[in-house]
Amino acid sequence: MRNRLPRFGGSQLKHLFALTAGPVALLFAFISTAQAHTPPAAAVASAHPVATAAGHEILAAGGNAFDAAVAVSATLAVVEPAGSGIGGGGFWLLHRAEDDFQVMIDGRERAPLAAHRDLYLDEKGEVIPGLSMNGPLAAGIPGEPAALVHIAEKYGRLPLKQSLAPAIRAAREGFAVNEQYQKLAGFRHKKMRADAATANIFLLDNEVPAIGHLIKQPDLANTLEAMAKHGRAGFYNGAVADKLIKGVRDAGGIWSQQDLDEYTVVERQPIRGEYRGIQITSAAPPSSGGIALVTMLNILSGFELDKIDTAHQTHIIVEAMRRAYRDRADYLGDPDFVDIPTERLTHPFYADGLRNTMRLDRATASSALPGVARDSAGQDTTHFSILDQDGNRVAATLSINYPFGAVFVPAGTGVLLNNEMDDFSAKPGIPNAYGLVGAEANAIAPGKRPLSSMTPTFLETDDRVAILGTPGGSRIITMVLLGALEFAAGKPPADWVSRPRFHHQFLPDAIQFEPDALSQQTQEKLSQLGHQLKPMKRRYGNMHGILWQTQENNVQAASDPRGGGSAPVKTH
């Protein structure tokens, strides 16, 4: 396409296209550049202090980052039930220090085998509201239990039983309701009341409990104990599996024992890219996160952002977001079912082409491109980051999708089911709960994994290693982008996680932004450039980041001030 040249000042212009040339071979040389020595301390950054403590407890007991990841994941399932759980799934990005091996453990949910493309449509072909959101028909086959067993057995040092112990203890002894819990339970209150098992566990007399109220989960403790004793069979076979299937089917769901038998985790090659000397390692499909992140950074690598005024800088970043999210809607889905042009989408030359479609003096209207969408909520999911003293790393983003998932617990299991089926495109062009549209690539099919935005990420230079990610629905990828740009600017984790955020997802065609993200002057300039602005009432996201400065050899960690998490750095 034609490169429309900017119409503003030459002195600004000369900085804009700085980096489009260069040997391509170098861009694909992903040699680990971290220093050989090990970190002086370990760090765990998660959304809940009890889960963070579980991670450090396991590290102190001689476990590695992977054992700690099992402990943190399982404990978050107990103490942050709105965000993730063993009734859901996620992506665990692992880096093993001894051989620089990196892998993404795909524990994403799968559509039940009885699911089909038109599962959520009525006889007229219209989407039936709520069917992919609430109740057992909304739930994919959980992947987190299989992933935890897999990580413990293949990468951990400790027995699964030991790594699950903090979660079992928290489920038996209870966790105290906090503000975050109250907010999300308030958001889903009506639906929570509608399912007796959910209400009995998570509400008090059908109301959102007061801060400090202890929520005990004996059924969940029993289910976790079955996993501790029998591994994956403790969840996918036997008494727990029988109760899961009966509970789901009695309430109109379609799970079968064959679904549970056939569920497997998949080890996938992470998506890789390079931005101004920073190696990017991020989530592979069925997450869209890594591809979209690399596409955006490839586009941005042609600009010297730090030399451009804030309004034009924001404009350029927004235009990169718009283009990456357009591609997300068009191309991405479960790689076991659809061919994804990963190499093309992450290639610098492709980004050159996208960059050439951008006008620097005017917003591109998304309406010039296909698709429709609506607003997104983005209060779901969870992320944690871990670095151990051997230099092993985990970035994990886990989900049951919407807050409290499908708000459905099969009786006697304590397992709150996900509503990840809503991440499929129920009908091409019709937006899901996050306002995201999809096409054929993300249509429902038996056994298929729904497309995700979860973006656990490592960033690496000669002297710095970053581990980061966040929950937040469709906004996850742009939050990680903004965090990565902070890292690129040499800022510490406290800045990555706290910086004010803005977002564009192609459709709706508007810049969504936090109350403090854009000054009045920047807003005016962006409007003049033709952008629609959509100020948000609340801040969003809950990022957890760790930085290891390998030459100075120090470790810093930070949890997002928007959430109630913690990120202590400790020696063990």
Helix/strand/coil percent split, the chain, to 5? 35, 15, 45
Maximum CA extent, the chain:
71
Shortest spacing between CB 399 and ligand GLY, in angstroms:
4
Query: CB of 271 within 8 A of CB of 288?
Result: no
- Angular region, 513: left φ>0, alpha ψ -120 to 50, beta rest: beta
- Of 252, 4, 221, 229, nearest to 112 by C-alpha is 252
Strands 533-535 and 511-513: parallel
- What are the angstrom distances between the C-alpha of 49 and each of 53, 351, 405, 407? 6, 40, 22, 24
| DSSP bridge pairs for 214 | 176
| Degrees, nearest 5: CA angle 452-151-260 | 65
Shortest spacing between CB 474 and ligand GLY, in angstroms:
7
Shortest spacing between CB 426 and ligand GLY, in angstroms:
14
Say which of 52, 295, 364, 381 is annotated catalytic: 381
- What are the angstrom distances between the C-alpha of 363 and each of 153, 299, 506, 507? 50, 15, 12, 13
Cβ-Cβ contacts under 8 Å for 324 (sequence gap 6 or more):
291, 292, 293, 295, 296, 299, 477
- Specify the DSSP class assigned to residue 411: T
Figure out which of the listed residues 376, 389, 399, 559 binds ligand GLY, where binding follows CB under 6 A: 399
Upper half-sphere CA count for residue 152 (Cβ side, 13 Å): 23
Q: How many residues bind ligand GLY (CB under 6 A)?
A: 9
Query: CB of 484 within 8 A of CB of 301?
Result: no
**Nearer of residues 314 and 397 to ligand GLY, judged by Cβ:** 397
- Any alpha helices (H) in 156-282, and if so which ranges? 160-173, 179-187, 189-194, 196-202, 218-230, 233-236, 238-250, 257-262
**Nearer of residues 223 and 452 to ligand GLY, judged by Cβ:** 452
**Nearer of residues 274 and 423 to ligand GLY, judged by Cβ:** 423
Site for ligand GLY, residues 460 to 519, rule: CB under 6 A: 473
Figure out which of the listed residues 198, 314, 342, 401 binds ligand GLY, where binding follows CB under 6 A: 401
Helix/strand/coil (H, E, C) string of 331-374?
HCCCCCCCCCCHHHHCCHHHHHHHHHCCCCCCCCCHHHCCCCCC
**Nearer of residues 452 and 457 to ligand GLY, judged by Cβ:** 452
**Nearer of residues 132 and 381 to ligand GLY, judged by Cβ:** 381
Shortest spacing between CB 454 and ligand GLY, in angstroms:
5
**Nearer of residues 399 and 512 to ligand GLY, judged by Cβ:** 399
Shortest spacing between CB 397 and ligand GLY, in angstroms:
8
* Catalytic status, residue 381: yes
**Nearer of residues 90 and 136 to ligand GLY, judged by Cβ:** 90
d(CA 502, CA 293): 15
Sign of CA dihedral 143, 55, 213, 398: negative
| R_g of the chain computed on alpha carbons | 22
Site for ligand GLY, residues 432 to 461, rule: CB under 6 A: 452-454
**Nearer of residues 305 and 451 to ligand GLY, judged by Cβ:** 451
Figure out which of the listed residues 73, 180, 198, 381 binds ligand GLY, where binding follows CB under 6 A: 381
Q: Which residue is nearest to ligand GLY (CB)?
A: 452
- Establish if 423 lies at the interface with ligand GLY (CB under 6 A): yes
Residues that bind ligand GLY (CB under 6 A): 381, 399, 401, 420, 423, 452-454, 473
Active site residues: 381
